[in-house]
Amino acid sequence: MDQRGLVERARQGEHDAFADLIDGRLARLDAAARLILRDGELARDAVQETMIRAWRDLPGLRDPDRFDAWLRRLLANACLDLVRRRKRRVIEVELTPIDAPSTVDIATGLADRQLLDQALAGLAPGHRAVVALHYLLGMPLPEVAASLGIPVGTAKSRLHYALAAMRISLTAEPDTAPATVAGGLA
């Protein structure tokens, strides 16, 4: 069954079809949510919210071919809604367990990956959302901008800033202190 067929069936209320759609996407959506929110439990909440809303509102999706773009937009909104509800509340950074050695030459060591993770922790959620949607979910920047309700230029500048922060982190001295970041969207 192709994706369009699965979406059509799910739109008609078939739970199995929706479960198939979930299975192909859940891991990456969860990863994007953890990158944006920096908290495994919050990420779970955001993904659950996304999927439940997707199921509930699927009959309103007119073009099945836009399912993925729509789902990614729902996730971005769910994540940023959670951030807003918890604004000014300090979120402890939870480092994702790292199992396999990197195959990428720039960050082959554990320390480098931790540094990169800390660099992302230092960014505002709105900046991390651009990084997550663009690099983890593969959305082109105009689509990222539309999903986040920001001009394309702002999306580009946020991405530029985030990349610079990540690059700098890999040249700086390691800092093993746990990072914290206050909620906010800037």
Residue 181 touching other proteins (CB under 8 A):
no
Three-state SS annotation for the chain: CCHHHHHHHHHCCCHHHHHHHHHCCHHHHHHHHHHHHCCHHHHHHHHHHHHHHHHHHHHHCCCHHHHHHHHHHHHHHHHHHHHHHCCCCEEECCCCCCCCCCCCHHHCCHHHHHHHHHHHHCCCHHHHHHHHHHHHCCCCHHHHHHHHCCCHHHHHHHHHHHHHHHHHHCCCCCCCCCCEEECCCC
Residue 115 touching other proteins (CB under 8 A):
no
Residue span 65-104 as binding mask against other proteins, x where in contact by CB under 8 A, dash where not:
------------x--xx--xx-x--------xxx-x-xxx
**Interface residues toward other proteins, by CB under 8 A:** 13, 15, 18-19, 22-23, 26-28, 30-32, 34-35, 44, 47-48, 51-53, 55-60, 62, 77, 80-81, 84-85, 87, 96-98, 100, 102-107, 113, 116-117, 131-132, 135-136, 138, 146, 149, 151, 163, 166-167, 170-171, 185
